[in-house]
Amino acid sequence: MAIFGNLFGQIFGDNAAEHEARGDYYAGVNNWRRATEEYRRSLQRTSKNTIGYRRLAEKYDDARAKGFDSLVEEIHSHIDVREFTYASDLLVSARGQAETEVQRDKLDECERRLRAAGRAVPPAAAAAAAAAAASTPQTAPTAPARSVPRATEMPPRTPEPAARFESPLSPAERPSRPDPTVRPAASVAPEARPARELGGDQAFQKVLGHLQPAAVAARARLGSHYRDAVLAYARGEAPRAVELFKKSVDEHPGEPIVLYDLAAALASAGRSREAQTIYLKLAERNPHDWQPYYEIAQLQWTDGLWEPAIATVEEGLQRHLRSGYLMAQWGVFLYKMGDKRGALERFYAALQLDSFDDAGLYHVIANLHLELGDGERARRGYLKALELNPHSAGTMLDYAEFLIEHRQDPKAALAILETTMRTLRATAAPRLLHVYRSYLSSKAHMLLGEREMALLAVTRALEENDQAWLEDTLEAQRQAVLAV
> For residue range 132-144, what is the model confidence (pLDDT) as tens digits?
333 323 222 222 2
Q: Stretch 302-320: mean pLDDT, rounded?
A: 91
pLDDT of residue 189: 45
pLDDT of residue 190: 44
Pair 96, 129: CB distance under 8 Å: no
Fold classification of 161-407 (topology level): 1.25.40
Pair 221, 258: CB distance under 8 Å: no
Give the whole-angstrom CA distance, residue 293 versus residue 256: 15
Q: Stretch 343-365: mean pLDDT, rounded?
A: 84
Task: List pLDDT tens digits, range 389-431.
Answer: 898 999 999 999 999 999 999 999 999 999 999 999 888 888 8
81 — pLDDT class (breaks 50, 70, 90): low
Share of the chain above pLDDT 90, in %: 31
Pair 169, 157: CB distance under 8 Å: yes
Residue ranges of the domains in the chain? 2-132, 161-407
Whether residue 83 is predicted with pLDDT greater than 80 in this model: the reply is: no
Whether residue 95 is predicted with pLDDT greater than 50 in this model: the reply is: yes
Look up residue 366 and give its amino acid. Answer: A
Task: List pLDDT tens digits, range 248-294.
Answer: 999 988 889 899 999 999 998 889 899 999 999 999 998 889 999 99
Whether residue 186 is predicted with pLDDT greater than 70 in this model: the reply is: no
Q: Give the least confident one: 85-94, 184-193, 364-373.
A: 184-193
Q: Stretch 222-240: mean pLDDT, rounded?
A: 88
Q: Which residue has the higher pLDDT, 326 or 38?
A: 326
Report the b/e string of 97-130 with b at 16+ CB within 10 A.
ebeeeebeebbeebbebbeeeeeebbeeeebeeb
